[in-house]
Amino acid sequence: MVNMHPAEFFAQLQENVSVRKKRTLELINEICKKQYESGSKDFSISTIAMLIADNGGPSEQALRNKQGEDYRALIKQWADYFNGSNKKIAAKKSTGLNDEILANVTDPTTRALVGMILAENKKLKKENSLLKQQTTLTIDMRKPKDEVLGTGQNVILVSPSDDLTEMELKALREAISEDFMKDRGWTVDDYGRVKEKGIQVYKPGYVSAIKKVLKEV
């Protein structure tokens, strides 16, 4: 049956059926044809049901029940013949600009610093967007889990780890990893300061600050 064109299969299904079922088959066939012409491989029941809903087509549940067997068979024929899928195709996760920038930074230290700058820039943009939407507000720098005091105010909780991507987090972890420090011949003191043979590389708070960000995430 896979080698049979959907149009032929559709013609066979139309034989000896009620006028109502014939109309539904025609609607499903037309929608599947548009899916193919658009280049989409998604012939899942949920997608087809959504596309035929505006034209009075049966619901997803109706397509899945016993009476919808011929409807499902027609959809499957379109999927099989044109190498489509009867399962919902997940949308590809888009790669953000920040991830693309970090991907081109090879040095772990530089990547970590760039990641921190990008994260801070993203946080500031989010805060700025929130500020534009508010007239009177209070910015609370405490962690979200803390109890917010006061009533009748517009309160925004700001976290330095908001919206960090997995690539940004990875860059931060690498920047303070034991292997990375060992390879560079660096040491970390109790104040989060990084040294190389006694000479300061990063000021106090460098490692501890990154750890706090990672801990919040």
- Could you state, in chain order, the average pLDDT of each consecutive group of 10 residues for the chain (217 residues)? 84 91 94 92 92 89 92 93 81 63 73 79 76 58 50 48 74 87 89 88 88 77
- CA torsion angle 189 194 199 202 (round to 10): -130
* pLDDT of res. 104: 75
- Cβ partners under 8 Å of residue 32, min gap 6: 6, 43, 48, 74, 75, 78
- Cβ partners under 8 Å of residue 107, min gap 6: none
* Residue 193 structure tokens: 């300061």
- Cβ partners under 8 Å of residue 173, min gap 6: 214
pTM to 2 decimals? Answer: 0.42
How many Å apart are CA 4 and CA 22, to the nearest integer?
Answer: 20
User: Are 138 and 152 within 8 A, CB to CB?
Assistant: no
* pLDDT of res. 28: 95
* Residue 34 structure tokens: 């548009």
* pLDDT of res. 148: 44
* pLDDT of res. 29: 94
